[in-house]
Amino acid sequence: MEERAMGYYSKPLKQEKVIRDPVHSHIYIQDQIIMDLINTTEFQRLRRIHQLGTTSQTFPGAEHTRFTHSLGVYEIVRRICDHFQRNYPSKELGDGLWDDSERIVAECAGLLHDIGHGPYSHTFEHIFRTNHEQITQAIITSPDTEVNQVLSKMGPDFPNRVASVINKTYDNQQVVQMISSQCDADRMDYLLRDSYFTGAQYGNFDLDRILQVMRPYADGICFKMSGLHAIEYYIVSRFQMYLQVYFHPISRSMEVILAHLLLRSKELADDFKLNQNFNPTLLMPFLNGTFNPETDLQAYLKLDDGVLNTYFSAWKDYPDSILSDLSHRFIDRKPFKSAKFNNQTEDLIPKLQSLIEAAGFNPEYYTATDNSYNQPYDVYNPASGHQNAQIELMEKDGSLIELSKASLLVRTITGKDVGDSRFFFPKEMLQPENNVELFQQIYDNFQRYIKNDSLINPEEN
Amino acid sequence: MEERAMGYYSKPLKQEKVIRDPVHSHIYIQDQIIMDLINTTEFQRLRRIHQLGTTSQTFPGAEHTRFTHSLGVYEIVRRICDHFQRNYPSKELGDGLWDDSERIVAECAGLLHDIGHGPYSHTFEHIFRTNHEQITQAIITSPDTEVNQVLSKMGPDFPNRVASVINKTYDNQQVVQMISSQCDADRMDYLLRDSYFTGAQYGNFDLDRILQVMRPYADGICFKMSGLHAIEYYIVSRFQMYLQVYFHPISRSMEVILAHLLLRSKELADDFKLNQNFNPTLLMPFLNGTFNPETDLQAYLKLDDGVLNTYFSAWKDYPDSILSDLSHRFIDRKPFKSAKFNNQTEDLIPKLQSLIEAAGFNPEYYTATDNSYNQPYDVYNPASGHQNAQIELMEKDGSLIELSKASLLVRTITGKDVGDSRFFFPKEMLQPENNVELFQQIYDNFQRYIKNDSLINPEEN
Amino acid sequence: MEERAMGYYSKPLKQEKVIRDPVHSHIYIQDQIIMDLINTTEFQRLRRIHQLGTTSQTFPGAEHTRFTHSLGVYEIVRRICDHFQRNYPSKELGDGLWDDSERIVAECAGLLHDIGHGPYSHTFEHIFRTNHEQITQAIITSPDTEVNQVLSKMGPDFPNRVASVINKTYDNQQVVQMISSQCDADRMDYLLRDSYFTGAQYGNFDLDRILQVMRPYADGICFKMSGLHAIEYYIVSRFQMYLQVYFHPISRSMEVILAHLLLRSKELADDFKLNQNFNPTLLMPFLNGTFNPETDLQAYLKLDDGVLNTYFSAWKDYPDSILSDLSHRFIDRKPFKSAKFNNQTEDLIPKLQSLIEAAGFNPEYYTATDNSYNQPYDVYNPASGHQNAQIELMEKDGSLIELSKASLLVRTITGKDVGDSRFFFPKEMLQPENNVELFQQIYDNFQRYIKNDSLINPEEN
Amino acid sequence: MEERAMGYYSKPLKQEKVIRDPVHSHIYIQDQIIMDLINTTEFQRLRRIHQLGTTSQTFPGAEHTRFTHSLGVYEIVRRICDHFQRNYPSKELGDGLWDDSERIVAECAGLLHDIGHGPYSHTFEHIFRTNHEQITQAIITSPDTEVNQVLSKMGPDFPNRVASVINKTYDNQQVVQMISSQCDADRMDYLLRDSYFTGAQYGNFDLDRILQVMRPYADGICFKMSGLHAIEYYIVSRFQMYLQVYFHPISRSMEVILAHLLLRSKELADDFKLNQNFNPTLLMPFLNGTFNPETDLQAYLKLDDGVLNTYFSAWKDYPDSILSDLSHRFIDRKPFKSAKFNNQTEDLIPKLQSLIEAAGFNPEYYTATDNSYNQPYDVYNPASGHQNAQIELMEKDGSLIELSKASLLVRTITGKDVGDSRFFFPKEMLQPENNVELFQQIYDNFQRYIKNDSLINPEEN
């Protein structure tokens, strides 16, 4: 590697440093560049962005941030490299084994893979048309960031190499798959970490065992057949975490409120300037649509969860009743209620919206539908272009078998969409705060459409 | 109890509700009043205030908030009441056993004991002369808060009763000691919780065992002699958490920076008004000294960690170089370095401050001393007025022995101050960022005074 | 209950006693009868019988016994009763809720459900035609046992009632299903316990959550719909434990050796008498087929794992070469190797047996086939007579849905046999200990039939 | 190293093998010799010898064996070697750093350090004058054992080198201290393991942290000053495990019964021959005093816990009433009661013994005194000859400070004997099984001498 010649690569720390982490016990830092990246302002900013957004409204322990997750991904990458170098060191070019000179680029990519995330990423991106993957690339390759300046000490091409690992165009597929595949360091860390902090035990698969059965091969990373059940369990863990944690209706309800709140603020962008106390200075480029990720990286990097919450808190007193009420519901945790619907009951929604409107709520801001579906495991489909997505198992004689062919359990859930579709509406429709007799009939009517957490057609039941 | 007659107390939830918590597995909510208190805006605000302030700068997992801690204290109180009612139910007035009609006041006090905390409490109070205990009382007793309105449904006197448990003037000492004593629900939850989230294992004592040996008696709460070692271990755990986590030099260094930053902002209060982008609107009553806890409770309740961090982030670009630099150091985690000193070496500090000044740093903002000392266990001393502070063990025949009389280990550390005194200074004094030859001699001179993490007199060594 | 009148039931312990348990933290003993049962000689005997037989040969931590498992089942039953009594107390006869006067019979049945197990139960029963369920009934109802004498203090009919809970003929289905159903205290304890002691994390489902969603109804026990995923996860955990732990080929291999060893000893029964040093006195009634569970209960109760191992150790020096060699393989852990086979490859086995015989091993003792299959979840099938086997979920409106109808994951594995069929043979066939050139050709030939842990037909590959 | 030339040392396994272990997650086996040692008959025998003897009578989960402990010690040694090689590799002879060619001897010594233990070691040795350390040396160096034969493949001198590490005469003090010092792999594994299996949390110190701060130096192994509190916590953990687990009165009571039982069997040695059913064949060399460790190693190796228990079970029916009763008490867990005594109350013991005799118990077999004391930490005392016993901390400048000089907590307990002296007697003296009026006066008199778990002089109280 040319970097080696530049003297930076040869700067392992004299003695490794450790960061205490409740999930992995310790994060071991062995190279100066890793320490320097952690100390950049862009990376430190991840301390102020929660990993799970509104999920802590349902699982209050889930207050962990993208900072610790990023450290965790780095640590898992580091352990994979150790395991590969100990058990599968490359002896000659092209033997399909592990070339440890790839370690540093893999570790940097693991550490930085989420560097472009902003506050409440999912909803924010949806409303403001930003893209955290694009911004990740920009942070790594733009000469204005501290991250880029640290990476560049390894050589002028090094930032691009790290960025290409993250966007999966790097030529060494072993490195790419460590960071991005169906069983990668990213997913493994977030399952363990989200499980630890939520207290939901479902994501608690056996990391040590998975690392033990993981191995490099010519086309990337596969797993020894003896690890079949450990992988199977990991897939089911992920599936469970989606159903139990990531798709929890209360968290989705809080996201619905957040989305409507941001949407309303966008509509009020011009008004805010009139009242300095409510003016969301740092959000303005996004509200008025002038944000350009190429030129305004710093504007994006100034945002974090606390900044947004600070605006929301202030807006509780804003004169627009929709903005102030949604801000109150978001900040003080007054989630919407929801009910499942399906193809048969979807048609009931307009009727329900009209009842909600009759009860005094603007349906545009006070109702929503949300589909949460995910495929717990997905096999390569040429049409979908998900190359290398599938998990391969290696038999003792070196032949490969795709996971769903070897596992009944995985086969069942392969390619299946799991999750549900929900209709969200104000809690008041079910639990009127004051028995306003005026609306009682509307409430009663509305409630006939909800049974066992689902929409039903009262005429048919 | 008169509350019972009012119909509220008799509103146990039809079925208990649970909140997932990684420390206690679940928090069990059995009464409507507890659910209602959790849903108040004042209680929800605790979600935005970290339990350990700057400690997450050292132990990055420590991102938990006062919200989950408060739930945890409630849960431990609930379990103590269950245990007391099962094993030591009062049969007649004055028998020194447990009267379960005290349960609801105990549970409310456990839930609300920290309701008055604000952002970065310790430092904030020090700089702005606020007092979270006083504010806790105000939140509970002021008719303007949602907390007070919920409590009042139990009876007009109920808020005062809850407040008096928290300020230790309540007449039932069993209830008071559940919340405030050397082995209370508050300390037990925070040790377990801080241990869980930091990943430092030291606070991980045996809660189930302690609850099992805890018992009521005429003067409060004591522990069966068979639980001696469990209590001993708890005391040592607390001692270790102080030394290893709460007194960690890096966290204290970040607090030093925070204190200087807040102090500087106070000095600049009038200037901020000139530049709306930097104006810390919500902090203003504190910066200009007009805050009055009696009348401005709402101003206090608008603050949280995110609000302060939002101002600090903005101030990184403020024209005052001290404010902007300290903001940068705080937000981007550039801690001061520190060295221990003692009575002998304290005199060296002015000399060091002058070297620091010569290197271009204003010592008022760029140096500090900090003493972190705590007594892991403290026996009742009539002079100190800490009545009931001591832990009592009950022999099989009912006689009581104070803990330090029964335990060699505890006796050793009883009343001892543990911790250290440190002198804080810019990292640049030890690790110049650019080899400014101009200052090299100053740096070299300075470094002669530091050895093995302590100040030394280079002339004597 | 008539027992109450007898004064025994009204003997709750003055203060509950606790036994430390690593799985449940503590076992809480609240009644004198439970303490008395634990202290019987029949129950203490369970300390000398491992829970998992030969599994500790694969997972060396799995050295736990039926003693701690039985305590654990009792503890889970106790917690279920607490939860039912707190949330679903019966108000009138036939309301389908929980009648807490059933608690003591449920707790006794939970504690005693495995009291009839002997050493290496599965294999022992297979070879000697004993039946631990029959013996459990005998121990509880025979007037000669200490267990019966303790139970009888509750009333003359009490032992029969406890026995009828265990054999599922008791009239209260809530009590029966606590002990015996697809999600009962027995299964829940052994999954958690086997997971804890083996270190295999797969059985680590969320007990607290399951208990929380469990509820009594008219026909037994069901689960709230909100607990769907917790139940799903429990089913998958069980499935994984079967595949990963209970069906592990090495453990099964050791059981195969044990079975052959016991079989051989049966054939040698008459010879043993000639040499007192090798005579398995306590096994004799089983070897010569005179054991009668009705009259010889004490003979059965004298056996435990250590007694059998003591004979096996001695037999390592016995003049019969098959007995001594199998004893050596069992005691010194020299497992057979194995390969999977299926319908297509089953026909190869005779050919392989002849090769094994040619290499000097008697195939009757040195080869075996073993099918390990289990259904992770089984729906009620009128033909199979498994009444009440299925798991029911209760919707908010009280309607019931069978688990596999609500869960895609469970539906997939419902009624499916999982596991494999294996052919076992001496390790020497793959790894000759001494390169006996004489047999080299036989070994080479044999090895052509094994590929990727499975039998293959070398002619077709 | 000369071994290298012999080709064995250069036989690392192609791929490391793992053994699942609940304490360390996995044991990693990387060399053929380690695998071969584990497979020896002498090492497999450790599966049948419990780590904690009678402790499982108090903490029923403590059913783990010396087999898993020995694997655990090996694993910790392996991790220390990894850490030393990564951070402190020796560059030239005598630089005080780690020479990784010492790894294999260290790992073998760790694995084999307890190979000489027999059943119920402590009591067995006391009664039969055997010595497990002497037998460990014999097993390793005697050419008749499989262990010796495996070790000898490394070179003719290799067994002696491994043996010398264990008896502390090996020249490399780093290797010796890994296995035997106040913070060695042996102690670290047993604290963690005993804590895990008992469920007592007290031994659960922070292994990862200790390994991280451990370092080699010229005279052995020391710890970085930054690890002071981790070491302190480890010392306190050990102290707590002694008080709470190892010295538990019930376990000691069962040992007292065991000792008396073995003593009685010794006295009856000649009688046993008359009744073959009760004849303890394998114990005979010990009962009649003919055992010679030099020549009878195989006789010793035939014993295990199950063998002894098998004899005890049989003896429950032996015609000698003392032997049969003590066997019953041991096998069926009927512990003696006990009371603490001190210098002042020791004189009461003869009086109590005469009361016990009057109640029908032979005091020689039915009473005992036992002192359990241990020093949690011991500083080097030239007189005591415990060279290198003390724990050294290394400052940043390389200077060393002995632990108790740096830690208040450790200083307090240094050299202190902790534990208690107890007088053991039959439970019947406190809880007569049948109210034999004949003895009531004796019981009443006896009970006057016991108060709060201690002997008292009733005349003085």
pLDDT in tens, D79-105: 999 999 999 999 999 999 999 999 999
| B110-119, B382-391, B443-452: the lowest-pLDDT one | B382-391
Do A209 and D86 make contact, defined as CB atoms within 8 angstroms? no
Average pLDDT over residues D13-23: 92
Higher pLDDT pick, C369 / C202: C369
Q: Which residues contact A215 (CB under 8 A, 6 or more apart)?
A: A84, A87, A88, A221, A222, A223, A224, A394
Query: Would the CB atoms of B201 and D205 count as touching at under 8 Å?
Result: yes
Determine the pLDDT at residue A8.
47
* pLDDT value, residue D381: 52
Q: Is the pLDDT of residue D321 over 60?
A: yes
At residue A408 the predicted structure's pLDDT band, cuts being 50, 70 and 90, is confident
Is A460 part of a structural domain of the chain? no
**Cα dihedral sign, C24-C25-C29-C30:** negative
Q: Which residues in chain C are closer than 8 Å to D200, comparing Cβ atoms?
A: 20
DSSP D335: P
With left for phi above 0 and alpha for psi between -120 and 50, is residue C453 left, alpha or beta? Answer: left
Decide if A302 touches B, using CB distance below 8 A.
yes
Q: Which helix (H) or strand (E) holds C192?
A: helix C185-198
Of C145, C143, C158, the closest CA to residue C115 belongs to C145
Chain C nearest-CA distance from B83, in A, is: 10
Assess whether A240 and A174 both reside in one domain: yes
Per-residue pLDDT, B1? 35
- Residue C383 clears pLDDT 70, i.e. is over it: no
Same domain flag for D234 and D121: yes
Confidence check: pLDDT of D120 > 50: yes
B371–chain C Cβ distance below 8 A for any pair:
no
| pLDDT at position D436 over 80 | no
Instruction: List the structure tokens of C220.
Output: 């037994």
Q: Which residues contact C186 (CB under 8 A, 6 or more apart)?
A: C73, C110, C113, C114, C179, C180
Total count of residues recorded for chain D:
461
Give how many domains chain C has, as a whole number: 3
- Cβ atoms of B95 and B48 closer than 8 Å: no
Mean pLDDT of B290-304: 93
pLDDT at B9: 53
Per DSSP bridges, beta strands A392-394 and A220-224 are parallel
Distance, in Å, from the CA atom of D148 to the CA atom of C392, rounded to the nearest integer, reads 60
Going by pLDDT thresholds of 50, 70 and 90, the confidence category of residue D2 is very low
A294, A389: one domain: no
pLDDT in tens, D276-292: 788 999 999 999 999 99
pLDDT confidence bin for D219, thresholds 50/70/90: very high
Of A142, A156, A164, the C-alpha closest to A8 is: A156
Q: Which helix (H) or strand (E) holds C147?
A: helix C146-152
Q: How confident is the model at residue C212 (pLDDT cuts 50, 70, 90)?
A: very high
Q: Which of B191, B232, B430, B455 to mutate to test the interface with D (most CBs of D within 10 A)?
A: B232
Chains linked to C by 3 or more Cβ pairs within 8 Å: A, B, D
Q: How confident is the model at residue B318 (pLDDT cuts 50, 70, 90)?
A: very high
Closest-CA distance of chain C to residue A207, Å: 10
* pLDDT classification of B461: cutoffs 50, 70, 90: low
Chain C hits for A243, Cβ within 8 Å: 229
Q: Please give the mean pLDDT across all residues of chain B.
A: 92
* Residue B4 near residue B101, CB atoms below 8 Å: yes
- With beta carbons less than 8 A apart as the criterion, state whether A336 and A256 touch: yes
| Choice among A340-354, B113-127, D10-24 with the minimum mean pLDDT | D10-24
| Per-residue model confidence as pLDDT tens digits over C404-418 | 999 988 888 888 778
Mean pLDDT of C40-56: 97
Q: What CATH number has the domain bearing residue C443?
A: 1.20.1250.30
Q: In the complex, which subunits touch B with 3 or more CB pairs below 8 angstroms? A: A, C, D
Averaged over C360-372, what is the pLDDT?
95
What does the pLDDT look like over C149-197, one tens digit per residue? 999 999 999 999 999 999 999 999 999 999 999 999 999 999 999 999 9
Question: Which of A255, A90, A68, A429 has the alpha carbon at shortest distance from B56?
Answer: A68
Cβ within 8 Å, pair B22-A313: no
Whether the per-residue pLDDT at D5 is higher than 60: the answer is: no
**Is residue C208 domain-shared with residue C147, that is, in the same domain?**
yes
Say if residue A202's pLDDT is above 80: no
pLDDT at B380: 53
**What number is the average pLDDT over the span D321-328?**
98
Do D252 and D282 have their domain in common? yes
List all residues of chain D from 421 to 440 with a beta carbon under 8 Å from chain B. Answer: none
- How many helices (H) and strands (E) would you count in chain D? 24, 11
Q: What is the pLDDT of residue D6?
A: 40
Q: In sequence order, what are the residues at sequence separation of 6 or more whose Cβ sits closer than 8 angstroms to the Cβ of residue A355?
A: A429, A442, A445, A446
Residue B123 predicted with pLDDT over 90: yes
Overall average pLDDT of the A322-327 stretch: 98
DSSP for C94-142, please give it.
Answer: TSSSB-GGGHHHHHHHHHHTTTT--TTHHHHHHHH---HHHHHHHHHH-
Separation of alpha carbons D394 and D153, rounded Å: 39
Q: Taking the model in full, what pTM does it have? A: 0.95
Distance of alpha carbon C44 from the chain centroid: 18
pLDDT at C441: 92
pLDDT the model gives residue D383: 52
The bridge status of strand D392-394 relative to strand D400-402 is antiparallel
- For range B292-308, the mean pLDDT: 94
Average pLDDT over residues B270-297: 90
Shared-domain flag, residues C309 and C179? no
| Contact: D413, B413; criterion CB under 8 Å | no
Q: Give the residue on C whose Cα is nearest the Cα of A400.
A: C452
Q: What is the pLDDT of residue D461?
A: 65
Q: What is the CATH number of the domain that holds C140?
A: 1.10.3210.10
Q: Is the pLDDT of residue D8 over 50?
A: no
What number of residues does chain B have?
Answer: 461
Assign C434 to helix, strand or coil: coil
Which of A348-362, B114-128, B198-212, C308-322 is predicted with the least confidence, judged by mean pLDDT? Answer: B198-212
d(CA B195, CA C13): 36
Q: What is the mean pLDDT of residues D121-137?
A: 95
Q: Which residue has the higher pLDDT, D7 or A307?
A: A307
Over chain D, what is the mean pLDDT?
92
pLDDT of residue A380: 53
> Environment class of residue B134 by beta-carbon count within 10 Å: exposed (0-12), middle (13-18) or buried (19+)?
middle
pLDDT band, residue B376 (cuts 50/70/90): confident
| pLDDT for residue A293 | 86
Contact state of D56 with C44 under an 8 Å Cβ cutoff: no
Looking at the complex, does the CB of residue B137 fall below 8 Å from at least one CB of chain A?
no
- The whole-angstrom separation of Cα C327 and Cα D75 is 30
Question: How much is the pLDDT for C3?
Answer: 40
Range with lowest mean pLDDT among A340-354, B6-20, B435-449: B6-20
pLDDT value at D316 more than 60 = yes
What pLDDT shows up at residue C4? 40
Report residue A333 CA to chain centroid gap: 22
Map tokens 């002998």 to a residue. B344
Q: Is the pLDDT of residue A37 over 90?
A: yes
pLDDT (average), residues A158-182: 96
Question: What pLDDT is recorded for position D3?
Answer: 39
**What is the per-residue pLDDT for C435?**
61
Q: Which of A112-126, A141-155, A250-264, A369-383 has the lowest mean pLDDT?
A: A369-383
How confident is the prediction for chain A on average, in pLDDT?
92
- What stretches of D342-437 adopt beta strand conformation (E)? 368-374, 392-394, 400-402, 418-425
Residue C358 pLDDT: 95
The answer to whether residues C209 and C257 belong to one domain is no
| Range of the structural domain that residue D342 is part of | 336-373+418-461
Does one domain contain both A191 and A271?
A: no
Q: What percent of chain B has pLDDT over 90?
A: 80
pLDDT digits (tens, 9 = 90+) for B207-216: 999 999 999 9
Is A306–B305 a contact, with Cβ atoms under 8 angstroms apart? Answer: yes
Does position B143 have pLDDT exceeding 70, yes or no? yes
Please say whether the dihedral angle defined by the alpha carbons of residues C245, C246, C249 and C255, taken in this order, is positive or negative: positive
Whether residues D15 and D93 share a domain: the answer is yes
Q: Do both C169 and C263 map to the same domain? A: no
Closest-CA residue to A412 (of C232, D113, D87, D40): C232
Q: What is the pLDDT of residues C50-104, one digit of tens each?
A: 999 999 999 999 999 999 999 999 999 999 999 999 999 999 999 999 999 999 9
What pLDDT sits at residue D266? 96
Q: Pick from B204, B240, B409: which is nearest to D229 by CB?
A: B240
Query: Does residue C8 carry a pLDDT above 50?
Result: no
The answer to whether residues B265 and B350 belong to one domain is: no
Q: Which residues from D are below 8 Å from A86, CB to CB?
A: 16
At D204, the pLDDT band (50, 70, 90 cuts) reads confident
C452 burial (CB, 10 Å; 0-12 / 13-18 / 19+) is middle
Q: Which helix (H) or strand (E) holds A27?
A: strand A25-31
Q: Say what the pLDDT of residue A436 is.
A: 66
- At residue B128 the predicted structure's pLDDT band, cuts being 50, 70 and 90, is very high
Phi, psi angle pair for D451, to nearest 5°:
-150, 135
Q: Which of A15, A87, A212 sits opposite D87 (nearest CB)?
A: A15
Categorize the per-residue pLDDT at A432 as very low, low, confident or very high, splitting at 50, 70 and 90: confident
Chain C residue at shortest CA distance from B19 = C209
Q: Which amino acid is at A68?
A: T
Strand, helix or coil at D28? strand
C residues 74-113 near B, CB within 8 Å? Answer: 86-87
> What is the average pLDDT across A181-201?
94
Considering only the beta carbons, identify the residue of C25, C87, C212 that sits closest to B208. C25
In the chain, the amino acid numbered D329 is: R
In this prediction, residue B373 carries a pLDDT of 80
pLDDT of A5 over the 90 cut: no
**Is A451 part of a structural domain of the chain?**
yes
Q: C99-150, pLDDT tens digit by residue?
A: 999 999 999 999 999 999 999 999 999 999 999 999 999 999 999 999 999 9
* B66-113: pLDDT as tens digits: 999 999 999 999 999 999 999 999 999 999 999 999 999 999 999 999
Encode pLDDT of A122-152 as tens digits: 999 999 999 999 999 999 999 999 999 999 9
CA-based nearest residue in chain A for residue C209 = A200
Q: C393 and C349 in one domain?
A: no
Interface test mutation site (partner B, options A19, A20, A244, max chain B beta carbons within 10 A)? A20
Residue A217 reports pLDDT greater than 80: yes
